[in-house]
Amino acid sequence: DLRTAAADDARILGALGEGGLLPPGPDVLATVEYLGEHGIPALPGWRYLAQAVDPVDHAAVLAARPELVDGVVITDPDAHTRAREVLAGAALLPRSAVAVGTAAALLAPVPDPGTGSDAQHDGVFLVPPNPAMHDEHAADEERHALRSRAAARDEDIRTLAARLAGDRALAARIGSWRADCPPG
């Protein structure tokens, strides 16, 4: 949709126009904001990479931990467990896989697949994703909810358009009256 593309471009230009980096995706932003609201310091992974990792190491870190670079980095390692608990109950329902981990997990060597280490032990976890991404029943519920919201929004737009038309007609009548009845 053209409006969606225009809104995305405006958001990106806003970030770049102020001398910033390309903004992260909306799911990552929502996660970082939610953690911040709960007193857990976190940054989008790309922002952390730009601010805290030597540019010489960017490619290696990106190759080793693409999920965290494109995810969320918790900047206080002591907040990791709390972040997991807060996000488990958040119902953010992202439409993408959002990995969350500490800065140490981002910079640590990735364990070999055969070593028995897993994401649970290396400090990386996923924000519980929207079930509609993989569950047909949940997708059907999401579809119905979206259609209901769209119908309500369309009705609001029609109501506002009718009010606007009425306001314009009234403004035209007032303008006509003022022209017919000049001051003095």
Q: Does residue 139 share a domain with residue 125?
A: no
Q: Residue 35's pLDDT is what?
A: 97
Q: Does residue 145 share a domain with residue 76?
A: no
Q: 87: Cβ–Cβ under 8 A, 6 or more apart, which residues?
A: 31, 34, 35, 100, 125, 127, 128
Q: 50: Cβ–Cβ under 8 A, 6 or more apart, which residues?
A: 21
Q: Per-residue pLDDT averaged across 64-78, rounded?
A: 94
**Domain with 37 in it:** 25-129
Assess whether pLDDT exceeds 60 at residue 71.
Answer: yes
Q: Does residue 142 share a domain with residue 69?
A: no
Sign for the pseudo-dihedral over CA of 82, 83, 87, 92: positive
Residue with tokens 């769209």: 150
> At 18, is the pLDDT very low, low, confident or very high (cuts 50, 70, 90)?
low
> At 22, is the pLDDT very low, low, confident or very high (cuts 50, 70, 90)?
confident
The C-alpha atoms of residue 9 and residue 121 are separated, in whole angstroms, by 39
